[in-house]
Amino acid sequence: MSANVVDIAWRVGGPQGKGVDTAAGVFGRAAAAGGFFVFGRREYYSNIMGRHSYFDIRVATHPVAVHRNPVDILVTFETETLVRHALAVAAGGLLLHDAGAADVPIDRMVFLDPPLQEALVSHLEEAGLPPTTAGLLEAARRRGVTVLSVPYGELAEHLTSTLGASRARAERMINTVAVALSGALLQYDPELIKKGVALTFGSSPMTELNQQAVDLAYAYARETWDLEALPLRLAPRAERPVRLFLSGTQAVAMGKLAAGIAFQSYYPISPATDESVYLERHATVPTVDGGTSSVLVWQTEDELAAVATASGAALTGARSATATSGPGLSLMTEGLGWAGINEVPLVVTIYQRGGPATGLPTRSEQGDLLFAAHAGHGEFPRFVLASGDVAEAFVDAAQAFNYAERYQTVVIHLLDKTLASTLQTVDPFDTSQLSIDRGLVAEPAENGAWPGGFPRFRPTESGISPRPLLGQPGGMHWLTGAEHSEVGRVTEDPTTREQQMEKRMRKLEVAAREIPAEEKLQVYGDPDAAFTVLSWGSTKGAILEATQRLAAEGVQVRHLQIRMLWPFPAQELAPFLATAQPLVVVETNYSGQMARLLTQETGTKPDHLVVKYNGRPIAVNELLEAMRAILAGKAGPRYVIRNPFE
């Protein structure tokens, strides 16, 4: 690695509710303030307080969109984080742990699941080390990790005596101290850590107190450790363009606001709720002409009501959406069909999590693609989009409304828990690059123009017919979940049924023809390479980086990312599939759901399916390993990425 290239992976862990997220936010913003690209990955339990959570912040001189193992710096405050992550620290890395913590045998740690306990114990036994926390620290030292004992208790007392902070406040500020110690160990500019504090705490009085804690931590580090002897450095970059640092849920919410969302319904569910809460907090925003613009965010009693209220609002002309995850989509299914047969423009944002049933509520999985593509009894047109990163989440969230209104049907926007909680630096969103397509809205005449009812569902060549909005004079028609005539009258007439079915389904054929290829499919890496990786959604970052790493080694890879999964872009894929050798599909689910769609729609089967279904996203090193195994001819048709330590 050249001297100018920086790529540091930093991990902090601790009990949920103790400030791990805040610490990661401070470190990430401090790094971003120094001009670095930053990627953050959050892992947490379905629990309010106490269970283990951790946050990876990756800091680099190049754009990063994925986490990696091993990490370079591990910050721990207590035994559980130490035990779970000590093995994840790279040779030459740093490990901070509580100097006051007792040595605990791993088999006494009831908070660890048995498979992890066994994996840790056997690892230490093989190394001839005791199966305890001391053994893990010794293993780290032998691996070339610098283990630093931090007297957190004394430092907290110091915060109390020096800054006058209460004991409780001092204990919370230990997070900031640990971030600052990390900065000091990297010899990073303390002013930038303080900037990270200010950006995180805002105008609260906590900012100043925490900034004082930063100084105190830097002083402690300089007094205590020989910083010059430590291997890692982080020097601020000369160029520091303005970037955003935000999560996937925030990006989706901003995309919806930019698109003019007027109504959002939701029922609380992990990991989707953050988006709706953000929208409600930012319900009124300014307009470019100095006015204001609002979105009505409506919390319903369940997801059945969420999809129904959003549909009811859409009928009046409001750009309407709802957001949920897999279990909510299960309940919304009936409403998708209703919107489909009534040609209602409806955006449904899905943050996939581990399923089925309650599954892994706070872990990630690309498990709902086939469900999204098929959800609902009977047949109706729908779109399924999937974003690959935070920037795409913004654009797709806005674009979803255009598809919904242009084609007057349901648009499902798929994301996942990984993207929901990813924090990433991106270039500032440019709303002037977005366009708005409201589709065909009728301008009915005054009363009496359409004595038999407005022909809302009159078949047309495109299948799209003008849509009057509830309340418009002269636009009256009937809407029904039953099959209907062109004015919306219930009918079971065979000919009308055929006409209406064909009218609705024709919209998808038209969409497949008129939507530009680049909105459906993106090509990265070497477009002429035979080695082809096909993906959708949040695996994008890992594949992009693995592709770049292999290219640096002289191996050319072509990466195709499908953005529109339904209608499936079979035609756009065809030339690539014809020349793919081998064809590799990467997904974070068990069965390769996109690979199944691919085979169904193109007849092509991938040569290799790389999957991970432990609920955690694929790390770049894991994917590289898989791709190298494929290149070496050592991978079978199914390659499962496993990692017991996540």
Q: 413 has which bridge partners? A: 349, 385
Measured between alpha carbons, how far is 387 from 542 in angstroms, rounded to an integer? Answer: 14
Q: Which is closer to another protein, CB of 66 or CB of 305?
A: 305
The 10 Å Cβ neighbour count of residue 209 is 19
Q: Which is closer to another protein, CB of 289 or CB of 461?
A: 289
32 is an interface residue for another protein by CB under 8 A: yes
Spell out the SS3 assignment of 413-435.
EEEEHHHHHCEEEECCCCHHHCC
What is the maximal distance between C-alpha atoms in the chain?
90
Q: Which is closer to another protein, CB of 318 or CB of 584?
A: 318
Q: Which stretch binds another protein (CB under 8 A): 8-16, 208-216, 466-474, 497-505?
A: 466-474
437 is an interface residue for another protein by CB under 8 A: yes
Measured between alpha carbons, how far is 484 from 603 in angstroms, rounded to an integer? Answer: 36
- Find the binder of another protein among 225, 474, 602, 629 (CB under 8 A): 474
- Find the binder of another protein among 91, 168, 436, 517 (CB under 8 A): 436
2 is an interface residue for another protein by CB under 8 A: no
Q: Among residue numbers 172 through 201, which ones bind another protein (CB under 8 A)?
A: 199
Measured between alpha carbons, how far is 469 from 482 in angstroms, rounded to an integer? Answer: 20
# binding residues, another protein (CB under 8 A): 84
The distance of closest approach from Cβ of residue 470 to another protein in the complex, given in angstroms and rounded to an integer, is 5
560, containing H or E segment? strand 558-562
Q: 231 is written with which tokens?
A: 């291997």
The sign of the dihedral angle between the CA atoms of 430, 431, 432, 438 is: positive
Q: Among residue numbers 46 through 65, which ones bind another protein (CB under 8 A)?
A: none
The distance of closest approach from Cβ of residue 253 to another protein in the complex, given in angstroms and rounded to an integer, is 9
The distance of closest approach from Cβ of residue 389 to another protein in the complex, given in angstroms and rounded to an integer, is 15
331 is an interface residue for another protein by CB under 8 A: no
313, containing H or E segment? helix 303-315
Q: Which is closer to another protein, CB of 314 or CB of 360?
A: 314
The distance of closest approach from Cβ of residue 446 to another protein in the complex, given in angstroms and rounded to an integer, is 7
Q: Which is closer to another protein, CB of 444 or CB of 567?
A: 444
Q: Which stretch binds another protein (CB under 8 A): 153-161, 237-245, 503-511, 610-618?
A: 237-245
Measured between alpha carbons, how far is 371 from 591 in angstroms, rounded to an integer? Answer: 13
The distance of closest approach from Cβ of residue 415 to another protein in the complex, given in angstroms and rounded to an integer, is 18
555 is an interface residue for another protein by CB under 8 A: no
Classify residue 106 by its DSSP letter.
G
466 is an interface residue for another protein by CB under 8 A: no
The 10 Å Cβ neighbour count of residue 222 is 12
Classify residue 428 by its DSSP letter.
P
The distance of closest approach from Cβ of residue 431 to another protein in the complex, given in angstroms and rounded to an integer, is 5
Residue 424 φ then ψ, to 5°: -145, 145
Q: Among residue numbers 244 through 273, which ones bind another protein (CB under 8 A)?
A: 244-246, 250, 254, 257-260, 262-263, 265
> Can you say whether residue 388 is alpha, beta or left, with left for phi > 0 and alpha for psi between -120 and 50 degrees?
alpha
The distance of closest approach from Cβ of residue 302 to another protein in the complex, given in angstroms and rounded to an integer, is 6
Answer yes or no: are the C-beta atoms of 609 and 582 closer than 8 Å. Answer: no
Q: Among residue numbers 200 through 219, which ones bind another protein (CB under 8 A)?
A: none
Q: 572 is written with which tokens?
A: 């756009």
Q: Among residue numbers 389 through 428, which ones bind another protein (CB under 8 A)?
A: 398, 425, 428
Q: Which stretch binds another protein (CB under 8 A): 100-108, 141-149, 282-290, 567-575?
A: 282-290
Q: Among residue numbers 290 through 319, which ones bind another protein (CB under 8 A)?
A: 292-296, 298, 300-302, 304-306, 308-319
- Find the binder of another protein among 143, 374, 438, 628 (CB under 8 A): 438
320 is an interface residue for another protein by CB under 8 A: yes
Instruction: Please name the residues in contact with 64: beta carbons below 8 A apart, sequence gap of 6 or more.
Output: 7, 37, 38, 39, 58, 541, 545
CA angle 628, 632, 633 (to 5 degrees): 120
Answer yes or no: are the C-beta atoms of 639 and 586 closer than 8 Å. Answer: no
277 is an interface residue for another protein by CB under 8 A: no
The distance of closest approach from Cβ of residue 345 to another protein in the complex, given in angstroms and rounded to an integer, is 12
Q: Which stretch binds another protein (CB under 8 A): 53-61, 278-286, 363-371, 624-632?
A: 278-286
Answer yes or no: are the C-beta atoms of 32 and 243 closer than 8 Å. Answer: yes
472 is an interface residue for another protein by CB under 8 A: yes
End-to-end CA distance of the chain: 27
